[in-house]
């Protein structure tokens, strides 16, 4: 274990069926990459989606070195036509049982509030709806990556306004889908606290971030693998009776 990564647990004891397939968006980096590697270590075949094609291929290469199976898919999830094409490529693996909606715009993205909001929330809704239309009978569960921002924190000093608005909307989308679909697939969300990923590293020196980091009860920032473990648990049959939750994975900072 180094200062940026936690252990990559084998979660196969959680009941995933042999031959299970998971699609993970934003799998080239950070939380998505850790989730892809942990999913593969747990016996799942991974469709590693990312706008960064070489990055997605690099994740697939690392999974191959681990002895796992994965397919890299280059896609901008904000683009409807590309999402359709990506699902067609992914179906070459077979029907996809699990979805992790992880990719989203960086929290300090500039630009028009409404456009960023639609990118962040609309892309997750679109990827999920296309998944259900292609794989409905096989779809077992999905996890959306939200945030403590917008749900448990205002984050007014650290992120752009669209970000907490989008992450709260993703929580709402999660609850809507969880109750609309009669429990199949189950739909849950994970709300990470500050997690050490390439996206966040440049912000760690901000005074507001340092203040927040010092208040984390477990005494450290999150590792991508901390989030991956929660995602894999919620996806798994071990979480069969958990539906519609937004699970904070934040070291307890929002209670401190
Ligand atoms: N890191 C944190 O502290 C933190 C906290 C709360 C929530 N989150 C959420 O976790 C998710 C992952 O963040 P991260 O910190 O791992 O970031 P990251 O930058 O390390 O990884 C994000 C990945 O998503 C890909 N991506 C971005 N836009 C895309 C698009 N339009 N289509 C396809 N792929 C795209 C990027 O290329 C990158 O590989 C995001 O939804 C983020 O909002 C992160």
**Percent of the chain scoring above 90 in pLDDT:** 85
**Rounded distance from Cα 26 to ligand 1 centre (Å):** 6
Domain assignment present for residue 6? The answer is no
Element (H, E) at 80: helix 80-90
Q: Is 28 in the pocket of ligand 1 (CB under 6 A)?
A: yes
Span 16-56, pLDDT tens digits: 988 999 999 999 999 999 999 999 999 999 999 999 999 99
Domain assignment present for residue 95? The answer is yes
What residues contact 111, with CB distance under 8 A and at least 6 apart? none
Q: What is the CATH number of the domain that holds 97?
A: 3.40.50.720
**DSSP states of 14-79:** G-PPTT-EEEEETTTSHHHHHHHHHHHHTT-EEEEEES-HHHHHHHHHHHHHHT--EEEEE--TT-
**Rounded distance from Cα 103 to ligand 1 centre (Å):** 5
Q: Is 26 in the pocket of ligand 1 (CB under 6 A)?
A: yes
DSSP strand E in the chain: where?
A: 21-25, 45-50, 70-74, 98-101, 141-145, 186-192, 246-249
Domain assignment present for residue 7? The answer is no
Domain assignment present for residue 2? The answer is no
Domain assignment present for residue 256? The answer is no
Sheet arrangement for strand 141-145: 70-74, 45-50, 21-25, 98-101, 141-145, 186-192, 246-249
CA distance 176 to 195: 27
Domain assignment present for residue 134? The answer is yes
Domain assignment present for residue 254? The answer is no
Give the count of domains, the chain. Answer: 1
- Are the C-beta atoms of 192 and 227 separated by less than 8 Å? yes
Span 87-139, pLDDT tens digits: 999 999 999 999 999 999 999 899 999 999 999 999 999 999 999 999 989 99
Structure confidence at residue 214 as a pLDDT band (50, 70, 90): confident
**Rounded distance from Cα 104 to ligand 1 centre (Å):** 5
Q: Which atom in ligand 1 lies closest to the alpha carbon of residue 148?
A: 6
CA distance 158 to 153: 11
Catalytic residue list contains 163: yes
Domain assignment present for residue 4? The answer is no
Q: Which atom in ligand 1 lies closest to the alpha carbon of residue 77?
A: 32
Output the residue whose Cα is nearest ligand 1's atom 14: 30
- What would the two tokens of residue 143 be? 């996890």
CA distance 16 to 28: 23
Output the residue whose Cα is nearest ligand 1's atom 25: 26
Q: Is 52 in the pocket of ligand 1 (CB under 6 A)?
A: yes
Domain extent, residue 120, equals 19-248
5, 82, 104, best to mutate for ligand 1 pocket (most atoms within 8 Å of CB): 104
């Amino acid at each position: 274990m180094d200062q940026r990564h936690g252990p990559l647990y084998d979660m196969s004891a959680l009941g995933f069926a042999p031959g299970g397939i998971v699609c993970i968006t934003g799998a080239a980096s950070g939380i998505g990459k850790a989730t892809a590697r942990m999913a593969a270590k747990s016996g799942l075949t991974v469709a590693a989606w990312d706008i960064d094609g070489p990055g997605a291929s690099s994740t697939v290469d690392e999974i191959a070195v681990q002895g796992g199976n994965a397919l890299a898919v280059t896609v901008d999830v904000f683009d409807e036509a590309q999402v359709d094409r990506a699902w067609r490529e992914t179906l070459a693996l077979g029907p996809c049982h699990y979805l992790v909606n992880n990719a989203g715009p960086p929290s300090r993205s500039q630009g028009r509030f409404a456009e960023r909001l639609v990118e962040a929330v609309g892309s997750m809704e679109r990827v999920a709806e296309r998944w259900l239309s292609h794989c409905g009978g096989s779809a077992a569960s999905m996890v959306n990556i939200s945030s403590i921002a917008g749900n448990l924190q205002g984050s007014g000093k650290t992120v752009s306004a669209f970000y907490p608005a989008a992450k709260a909307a993703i929580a709402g989308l999660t609850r809507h889908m969880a109750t609309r679909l009669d429990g199949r697939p189950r739909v849950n969300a994970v709300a990470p606290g500050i997690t050490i990923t390439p996206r966040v590293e440049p912000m760690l020196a901000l005074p507001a971030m340092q203040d927040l980091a010092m208040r984390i009860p477990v005494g450290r920032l999150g590792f991508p693998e901390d989030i991956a473990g929660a995602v894999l648990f919620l996806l798994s049959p071990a979480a069969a009776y958990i539906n519609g939750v937004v699970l904070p994975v934040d070291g307890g900072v929002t209670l401190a």
